[in-house]
Structure 1
Amino acid sequence: MKTKQIALVTEAGNGLGKKFASILKNQGFEVILGAKGTSHEELEEMNLEGIKLLEVDATDLESIERLKAYINKVYGKLDILVNNAEIANGFGQKIHEINLDEAKEVFEENFFSVLNMTHILYPLLNKSEHAVVINISSGLGDIMKMRDKGFCYSNYQMTAYSAAKAALEMLTLSLEKEFKNSTIDIFGFDPIRLNNCTHNDVTICEGVEKEFLDLITIDNQNKVEV
């Protein structure tokens, strides 16, 4: 009998996390939704039937270690990891206007949180028959797209955010090569095509949802060559 598939989605507070968790739940996964601080308190009051809400800070190594211990004790493995934590600030700021502390915070949330989670949870992913890691990327971190004047966001100036997302792209590529001959797949996924996106309400276009589902159901025996 096939064991229950376990999925973890980080950062419930930005709307996308709840949407990804809902998609996974509807596919039959046992879903853990991570949240921190006020987002966790707010979501605790919501009806998240069938989804387990746990407090975790993806920038805090001790917090992730506690989460790892819980997942290992209760489930013994992790099949899906959606690294969804991110923040954006500094819109339109020139180099002399950038708040360096805020820029470092952007890198902590958008890059190091993904590195932290994947590094610490790797042993649990490695216990899965076929694990999938999805890193939420952005076209604003895609150098080719940002050079293309036809790209709708090419004129956006979010220096720290774009740089952090570009670093995430390279991290994802590096791990894709590392995991090539393993039972772990890793992908970057940009859900930018949204019908509506507010702090608490996100509707993902049907085509984007299908792309997400295609990633989590990909056959490990048919990996893309890199």
Structure 2
Amino acid sequence: MKLALVTGANKGIGFETVKQLAQKDFFVYLGCRDTEKGLSAIKKLKAEGLNNVAFIQLDVTNQSSVEEARNTIAEKTGKLDVLVNNAGISGDFEQSALKTNTDVFYTVYDTNVFGIVRVTQAFLELLRKAPEPRIVNVSTAMASLNLAADIYGNSYPKRFVVYQSSKAALNMYTLHLAFELRDTPFKVNAVCPGYTQTDFTRHQGTSTPEQAGQRIVKYALIGQDGPTGRFFSEEYFPAPANCPW
């Protein structure tokens, strides 16, 4: 049985991603920093007949927590086939390039960028033990410099400077990671799940969590002839087109 880890997975897109991977016969570790919320999420999945899931305490902003989660999975399984870096935060609802305090930048980047680096580097050796390892970094079309470049236009929002710039940094990290792993079986991609109706968006959006999960799982399951080092946003740039960074 293949093994997967999804971070920030107690609700929303992460929860749906765990559910869909479990339905595809993966054993899935549901990563969540809050033990009570994580166990509650596992209870919901098992109530639906999905017993191939387990909670693992994982705070992506805490190096010790990341290492402990890595050690636990290593002892139990010895490998990892899929890593979905889903954990993310938005910061304040309105973020001004002129006024937003640097503390907000530090907080958001610690989860959206540094957290992904911590988790990816910690689990890299377990992923290397899988025959076809996959890393999916959950990003957003809001990180597209191309879309945001029309400074006076309203084609895309420019009021989330911290969140958008953090995801742009994540996209660049994804590119570099894929490049350094180019001569290995790894496939590393960034995926926009779409404008999804979750707590994150105050339940506004054009996509359901189920649709968002499908977009992420698709790239967790790609074959060896599939892409790597790419950004996919199928809601805004229908496949096979991809966002021009």
TM-score (norm 1): 0.87
CA contact (8 A) 2:30 2:38 kept: no
Offset at residue 110 of structure 1 (A):
0.5
Structure 2 residue aligned with 1:41: 36
Offset at residue 210 of structure 1 (A):
4.3
Structure 2 residue aligned with 1:142: 144
Provide, for residues 4-41 of structure 1, a one-character-per-residue CA deviation record: whole Å limited to 9, x for no partner: 1000000124521111100100000000000013xx31
Change (3 A) 1:77 1:136: same
Alignment of 1:1-226 (within 5 A): 4-37=1-34, 40-45=35-40, 46-49=43-46, 50=51, 51-147=53-149, 149=153, 151=155, 154-194=156-196, 196-198=197-199, 203-204=208-209, 206=211, 208-223=212-227
Aligned partners of 2:23, 2:229: CA distance in 1, in Å? 30
Change (3 A) 1:85 1:210: closer
Offset at residue 223 of structure 1 (A):
4.3
Aligned partners of 2:228, 2:65: CA distance in 1, in Å? 33
Q: Which amino acid aligns with 2:69?
A: L
Provide, for residues 60-96 of structure 1, a one-character-per-residue CA deviation record: whole Å limited to 9, x for no partner: 1111111111111111100000001110123333334
CA RMSD of aligned residues (A): 2.3
Q: Which consecutive residues of structure 1, in runs of 5 or more, have no partner in the other structure? A: none
Partner-residue secondary structure (3-state), 2:94: coil
CA contact (8 A) 1:139 1:146 kept: no
Q: Which amino acid aligns with 1:217?
A: L
Offset at residue 219 of structure 1 (A):
1.4
CA contact (8 A) 1:90 1:159 kept: no
Change (3 A) 1:217 1:60: same
Provide, for residues 99-147 of structure 1, a one-character-per-residue CA deviation record: whole Å limited to 9, x for no partner: 3212201000100111111111100000000010000001121111222
Offset at residue 43 of structure 1 (A):
3.6
Q: Which consecutive residues of structure 2, in runs of 5 or more, have no partner in the other structure? A: 231-245
Partner-residue secondary structure (3-state), 2:44: coil
Offset at residue 214 of structure 1 (A):
2.8
Aligned partners of 1:7, 1:179: CA distance in 2, in Å? 19
Structure 1 residue aligned with 2:240: none
Offset at residue 155 of structure 1 (A):
2.4
Aligned partners of 1:225, 1:113: CA distance in 2, in Å? 19
Q: Give the share of equivalent positions with the same residue, in percent.
A: 26
Aligned partners of 2:171, 2:2: CA distance in 1, in Å? 27
Partner-residue secondary structure (3-state), 1:133: strand
Change (3 A) 1:91 1:10: same
Offset at residue 171 of structure 1 (A):
0.3
Q: Which deviates the most, 18-27 or 174-183?
A: 174-183
Partner-residue secondary structure (3-state), 1:188: strand
Change (3 A) 1:59 1:225: closer
Aligned partners of 1:198, 1:77: CA distance in 2, in Å? 32
TM-score (norm 2): 0.80
Structure 1 residue aligned with 2:243: none
Partner-residue secondary structure (3-state), 1:220: coil
CA contact (8 A) 1:193 1:204 kept: no
Offset at residue 150 of structure 1 (A):
6.7
**Number of residue equivalences:** 217
